[in-house]
Amino acid sequence: MPRKFIELSEKIEYLSILDENAKVDEALEPKLSGEQLKTIYRYMLLARRTDERLLLMQRQGRLGTFPQSSGHEAVSMGAAFAITADDWQVPAYRELPGMLYRGWSIDHFMLYWNGFEEGARVPDNVKDLPICVPIATQLLHAVGIGMGMNIRGEKNVVLTFFGDGASSEGDCHEALNFASVFSAPVVFVCLNNQYAISVPLSRQMHSETIAQRAVGYAMPGIRVDGNDVLAVYVATKEAVERARSGGGPTLVEGLTYRLTPHTTADDPKRYRSDEEYQLWLSREPLKRFRRYLEKKGLLNDKDHERLEAELDSEIKQAMERTEAQIKAEDLKNPTSMFDHLYKDIPPTLQNQRDEFARYWESRHKASDKQNPQKSGARTD
């Protein structure tokens, strides 16, 4: 028999609505109200200013090592704005804007990156999973939630995030395959900032896009301008509506760039050129979206000054609350690390908790004997 080709009709679309000069394609512009647009900008700006403040705290020794979100605001916020409060969000670790919008406080992030598990406690009535640092593992959790929704007959959607480096992990491909096979209502959003720490995209894969990987899993895939919050919103909204109506998963790739090191322990000057950085800085999401709002008459310089002052006060209050909480007695007992993961702690972990609690108590009794004044014991 002669060789023959299997015809594949899938093509990968690239979507951009608002370019770096704030020129908008009116035919593609989403129908969002002025208040909705201002809300999107508020949380993008809040995330940027929080990110900057956390960096200062880290450099002062008041915060641990953490990954910044600056430059990723459009992907996170544009996608999160496309789901409802009844839908689920499963983040990685650069989703600060969307998580703030969904109801997480700045305090959570300050606690979390200081090593306190209290920062991973999901706020009441928020259908999110906590920050996930292990690469790509959260994608399997997202698919599990989506499969559970199908079993229960629920019409909700799961929105989950991962980076370009995570797209090369086995967990990512397992998640995409299971989501496709079981038509799980999951929207996979890839923050393609073009570097897996220091490894450029060209050395991670030979495919032109990450979105085209969707073809292998028989799901729709689309690449969007990840610095264009309108494009991210439109692409995610379409994927969410498709998933909610039973159309299964979608892979959305947001092409963006880190404006910061991978984490505060990284030096990107060792693997990125200044020319490349300056090029992508000119495309960054906040400036173009601000200009877009100004052109629409929704924002002026005075409005922006008021907003900056409001957000600055909000961040400072969070810093004061968090640092006061860290000094409080209830955060000084590390047994709390067992308390913020499971609703019902498994017996094996309960045994470990009990063992550690006994050790911790004995350590403090020994410390009190050596320092009776510190324990409050009488010395007369």
Residue in the structure block whose two tokens are 């379409």 = 238
Task: Give the Å distances, CA to CA, from 299 to 172, 232, 274, 357.
Answer: 40, 21, 32, 54
Q: What six digits make up the tokens of 180?
A: 């496709």
Identify the H or E element spanning 181.
Answer: helix 170-181
Return the structure tokens found at 376.
């409050």
Distance, CA of 369 to CA of 207 (rounded, Å): 65
| Angle between helix 34-59 and 301-327 (nearest 10) | 50
The closest of 196, 192, 194, 195 to 251, measured between CA atoms, is: 192
| Distance (Å, whole) CA 204 – CA 197 | 11
The residues carrying an active-site annotation are 258, 262, 271
Helix (H) or strand (E) holding 214: helix 213-216
* Exposure on the CB side of residue 332, measured as CA atoms within 13 A: 6
Here the tokens at position 317 are 């209050």
Question: Residues of 177-207 as b/e, b for ≥16 C-beta within 10 angstroms?
Answer: ebbbebbbbbbbbbbbbbbbeeeebeebeee
What lies within 8 Å, CB to CB, of 304 at 6+ separation is 290
131 contacts: CB under 8 Å, gap ≥ 6: 91, 92, 93, 95, 99, 112, 120
Q: Give the single-character DSSP code of 206.
A: S
C-alpha closest to that of 198 among 280, 262, 133: 262
Note whether 199 and 181 are within 8 A (CB).
Answer: no
